[in-house]
Chains A and B, each alone.
Chain A
Amino acid sequence: MSYSSRRTSRKPRGFSLEGGSPGTVLRFLLPALIFVFAVLLFPAGYSLYASFFNWPLNDASAREFIALGNYARLFTDPEFWNSLKLQAGFIVIALPIELALGFAAALLLNREFPGAGVVRTLLLLPVFMLPVLSGFTWRYMLQPDYGPINWIVAALGGKQVLWLNDPTLAYVAVIIQDVWRMWPFMFMLLYAGLTTIPEELFEAAFMDGASWGQRLRRITLPMLRPTVITALLLRLIDALRIFSEVYTMTEGGPGSSTLLFSLYTHRQAFSFFRVGLASAMAIFLLVLSVAVAMLIVRKNMRLEEMSKGADA
């Protein structure tokens, strides 16, 4: 990632650019700047401010300044580390699977057959589903006896599994729920990316005798790389904050085996009313997200590349 070695923050709007005047650039950027920074600057600052206080939600006047006390408290809290570990595991397992499935489907469905368009649209239904309802439905499906999944297993003569009662299986179930819901997201994004690759490239390669595998490796993958990175990045941001589905499915249990990071933050903020501590957790998550995002992007893509255009 080409963060310029020149410290950019010092020079406000001193543009040296190609293709437009400072005024033009500003006109392009202004609406977004307003909608994001104007709305979020105060809340973000407030959040940072709150993280330095012992701050009960029900009585803001009773807050007391404790500097880094909240952060110190987090680092000695085993439940915090547990939720972090669970969250990391969740990301590392679910996201690659979602990406793989989405990619495979995008390749497979990038052709016309009767009903192809219908399939491509219907496939997105899980992503449309309300997260709370998705969690609730999976909880229902995994119940013994009446839960559809166990019902089918029993009908086929198998033994019923108590998914949500077992710590490991519950964690697996949570991951399965997310994979089920979000791999079509990857699919749609990657499919859209696929459709922007010019046909002639493939036809030319085909003429040259390249096999399907070679076309995949030499054309598809490199051209899709920015899209894949973006897909991973956007999915990562949301996966790090997953809440409703998991909460409705397991409430963090059994025990703390599915107490992902946002569930623990939610508990601190809205059950224990510790706004300060919850803010500290949020800031921590932010720093973590930025770090992981930079890792993904820095290694694989330069913003430079993205502004070059397909001149290849």
Chain B
Amino acid sequence: MRKTVLLALLAATLVVTAGAQTINVLVWDDPLPRAIKDMLPEFEKATGYKVNFELQPTTSVITKTTIGVTKDRADYDVVAVDEGNVPIVAPVMLPFDKWPAGAKYPKIAKDTVTAAMLDAATWDGVTVGFPINGNLYVWMTRKDLVENATNKTNFKAKYGYELRVPQTFKELLEMGTFFNANGIATGFGDFATGAPGVHAEAIFMWESHGTKFIDRVNGKYAVVLDEKKAVEGMEFYKKLMAIAPANAATLGHSERQAAFTTGKGIFSMFIWPNQIANYENPDSSLFAGKIAYSAPPAGPAKRVAVRGCWIMAIAGASKQQQAAAEFVYWWASKEIGYRLADMNIPGARKDVLSDPRYATSKPWYGAMAQAMDYAVARPRFPQVAQVNEIVKKYWLAGVTGSMPTLDAVRAIVAETNVVLVEANK
């Protein structure tokens, strides 16, 4: 018992000595925030502020945010918000335009990040926070398979054109089928576990085939999905599933990594840049250094890359908005950006991503910069989680063949409309 009292006293002392100069930061647990954590002493020394830097599993950040940050209470001053959750926290965050000017670090300019990323941080016309980590679909292809002379000859013989990193859906399917049929590698890596991720795949297919899913029409959300094109998209993905690994119907990030980096590997698939480090690490990947990165292949209608993003937001009820802002400006600064990029962790800065110094050592930065031009977003509104589950349920049923694709699309539209009624209130 005495020990507990001592500990309580110690904790209390810490709280007291920390004083008004401590900012509470909540971020997701990943190499990027961890790298920032290691750099914190520099920030603390330069500004005199103390930072209470809390890392939590990515899926739990929004839970702690909604509990800890309300209109009247800010247990956290700075919070990392995943793009999809921006509508949910927007009401309680301080709009970026109202952020104070930086004393030690200048206020970051909006044009340091791409328009796509800024859009991710914006909700209802207000920029809710600042994008700190841009994610979007980057395409990975096995360079060694594509450059192999035997493969090139055989492929040309069968299909009549040159083997290369797939630029269109047609090429993706044909090349993938070629490798799959010959037992050289699996053709494609799908994604089938987390609902937001499956929704992303659906958006990827549908936008590539020329139709949006949900749009704001006259200030209200409406399903604008073109049924014919949606079915086309689903049918194409169904073909891709057929050349995917055996457990395609439950493929998650860890299984995709397993399938791509070991054994025969996967010919070609999308990846979120945050995950690339493992694929390029010889300890975890048989094909490190043998991967080509590009923008995703183009669908019949256009080329599309689904966007994801973490933004840093400041609580409206925070009593340390000046300190909080300084922290974000520091994190988003050029110097930090380059140091992170050197560590394989790119942020969202345009200049860093397209810097030629990384062209050979980290080719996926260039791919990311390229892909930004094609960025599309998943629909966003507070009830989007329900739509995620609806899409996951019927999309997977459709692409695995347990439900006719037309019925699946119709079910998605019907149930989404019910949710939108609530969203439009």
A–B contact via C-beta, under 8 angstroms: yes
Q: Could you list which residues of chain A lie within 8 angstroms of chain B, going by C-beta atoms?
A: 56-61, 140, 143-146, 160, 162, 164-165, 250-251, 253-256, 267, 270-273
Chain A residue with minimal CB distance to B249? A165
List, in ascending order, chain A residues with CB within 8 A of B91's CB. Answer: 58-59
Interface string of B311-350 (1 = CB under 8 A from A): 0000000000000000000000000000000000000000
Known A58-B66, A273-B66; contact A251-B194, beta-carbon cutoff 8 A? yes
Instruction: Output the least CB separation between A160 and chain B (Å).
Output: 8
- Chain B residues with Cβ under 8 A from A56's Cβ? 382
Evaluate contact between B397 and A255: CB separation under 8 angstroms: yes
Residues of B within 8 A of A255 (CB): 393, 396-397
Q: Bound complex: CA of A256 vs CA of B262, how far in Å?
A: 30
Cβ contacts B177-194/A at 8 Å (1 or 0 each): 000000000000000011
Sampled A-B contacts (9; CB under 8 Å): A56-B382, A58-B92, A60-B70, A143-B247, A162-B247, A253-B250, A254-B249, A267-B389, A273-B385
In the complex, which residues of chain B have a beta carbon less than 8 angstroms from the beta carbon of A254? 249-250, 396
In the complex the two chains form, is A144's CB within 8 Å of B246's CB? yes
A164 contacts which chain B residues (CB < 8 A)? 247, 250
Q: What residue of chain B has the Cβ atom nearest to residue A62's Cβ?
A: B91
Q: Which of A57, A165, A272 contacts B386 (CB 8 A)?
A: A272
Q: In the complex, A271→B193 CA distance in Å?
A: 15
The 4 A-B residue pairs with the shortest CB-CB distance, nearest first, are A58-B66, A271-B385, A165-B249, A57-B66
Chain B 361-390: CB-based contact to A (< 8 A → 1; otherwise 0): 000000000000000000000110110110
Say yes or no for B67: interface residue by CB 8 A criterion: yes
| Closest CB in chain B relative to A215 CB, distance in Å | 46
Given the known inter-chain contacts A143-B258, A251-B194, A255-B393, please indicate yes or no for A57 contacting B250, CB distance below 8 A.
no
- How far, in whole Å, are A216 and B194 apart by their CA atoms in the complex? 51
When distances are taken between beta carbons in the complex, the residues of chain B under 8 Å from A160 are 246
Interface 1/0 per residue, B250-280 and A, CB below 8 Å:
1000110010001100000000000000000
Could you tell me the distance between the alpha carbons of A251 and B198 in the complex, rounded to whole angstroms? 13
- Asked whether A165 and B193 contact (CB < 8 A) given A59-B91, A255-B393, A273-B88, the answer is no
Q: Are A251 and B193 in contact (CB under 8 A)?
A: yes
Residues of B within 8 A of A60 (CB): 70
Q: Which residues of A contact B255 (CB under 8 A)?
A: 143
B71 within 8 A of A: yes
For residue A272, which residues in chain B have a CB less than 8 angstroms away from its CB?
A: 383, 385-386
Cβ A146 vs Cβ B250 within 8 A? no
**Is B89 engaged at the interface, CB distance under 8 Å to the other chain?**
yes
Q: How many chain-B residues does the 8 Å CB contact rule pick out?
A: 32
What's the minimum C-beta distance from B131 to chain A, rounded to whole angstroms? 21
Q: Is B17 an interface residue (CB 8 A)?
A: no
> For the complex, is B150 an interface residue (Cβ under 8 Å from A)?
no
> Which secondary structure dominates where chain B touches chain A?
helix
Whole-angstrom CA separation of A250 from B258 in the bound complex: 17
Once the chains are docked, how many angstroms separate the CA of A31 from the CA of B172? 68
Nearest CB on A from B411, distance (A): 13
Report Cα–Cα, A144/B248, bound state, in Å. 11
Query: Among the listed B247, B258, B385, B389, which residue makes an inter-chain contact with A165, where contact means beta carbons less than 8 Å apart?
Result: B247
* Chain B residues with a Cβ under 8 A of chain A: 62-63, 66-67, 70-71, 88-89, 91-92, 193-195, 245-247, 249-250, 254-255, 258, 262-263, 382-383, 385-386, 388-389, 393, 396-397
Chain B residues, CB < 8 A from A145: 246, 263
Chain A CB within 10 Å — which of B388, B389, B397 has the most? B389
- Distance of B289 from chain A, by nearest CB (Å): 22
- In the complex, what's the smallest C-beta–C-beta distance from B92 to chain A, in angstroms? 8
Nearest Cβ distance between residue A174 and chain B, in whole angstroms?
13
- Chain B contacts of A267 at CB under 8 A? 389
CB distance from A56 to the nearest CB of B (A): 8
Nearest residue, chain A, Cβ from B388: A271
What's the minimum C-beta distance from B339 to chain A, rounded to whole angstroms? 32
- Please give, as numbers and ranges, the residues of chain A lying within 8 Å of B262 by CB-CB distance: 146
Q: Is the CB of A270 within 8 A of B63?
A: yes
A162 to B244, CA, bound (A): 14
Chain B residues near A59: list those with CB within 8 A: 70-71, 91-92
Distance, CA A230 to CA B195, complexed state (A): 39
Which of A57, A61, A251 is within 8 Å of B67, CB to CB?
A57
What residues of chain A lie closer than 8 Å to B386, measured between beta carbons? Answer: 272
B87: nearest chain-A partner, CB-CB: A58
Cα A58 to Cα B64 in complex, Å, equals 10
Q: How far is the CA of A256 from the CA of B390 in the complex (A)?
A: 12
B360 to chain A, nearest CB (A): 32
Q: In the complex, what distance in Å separates the CA atom of A254 from the CA atom of B193?
A: 9
- Distance in Å: Cβ of B65 to nearest Cβ of chain A: 8
CA distance A165 to B385 in the complex (A): 23
Whether the Cβ atoms of A146 and B193 lie closer than 8 Å is no
Closest residue of chain A to B402 (Cβ to Cβ) is A255
Q: Which residue of A lies closest to B262 (CB)?
A: A146
For B245, the chain A residues whose CB sits under 8 A away are: 144
B246, closest chain A residue (CB) = A144
Q: With A and B bound together, what is the CA distance between A272 and B389 in angstroms?
A: 10
In the complex, what residue of chain B is closest to A271 when comparing beta carbons? B385
Q: How far is the CA of A164 from the CA of B63 in the complex (A)?
A: 28
Q: Is the CB of A61 within 8 A of B89?
A: no
- Residue on B nearest A132 in the bound complex, by CB: B57
Separation of A56 and B67 alpha carbons in the complex (Å)? 11
Q: How far apart are the CA atoms of A253 and B393 in the complex, in Å?
A: 9
Contact A146 B246 (CB under 8 A): no
Q: Point out the residues of chain A lying under 8 angstroms from B193, CB to CB.
A: 251, 253
Chain A residues closer than 8 Å to B385, beta-carbon distance: 271-273
State how many angstroms separate the Cβ of B362 from the closest Cβ of chain A. 28
Please give 13 more A-B residue pairs, beta carbons under 8 A apart, in addition to A144-B245, A273-B382.
Answer: A57-B63, A57-B66, A57-B67, A58-B88, A58-B382, A59-B70, A61-B71, A145-B246, A165-B247, A254-B396, A271-B195, A272-B386, A273-B66
User: How many angstroms between the C-alpha atoms of A58 and B393 in the bound complex?
Assistant: 26
The residue on B at minimum CB distance from A250 is B250
- Distance A255 CA – B396 CA, assembled complex (angstroms): 8
Shortest beta-carbon distance from A232 to chain B in Å: 33
Whole-angstrom distance between the alpha carbons of A271 and B258 in the complex?
28
In the bound complex, residues from chain A placing their C-beta under 8 Å from that of B388 are 271
Interface centre among A58, A143, A273, by most chain B C-beta atoms within 10 angstroms, is: A58
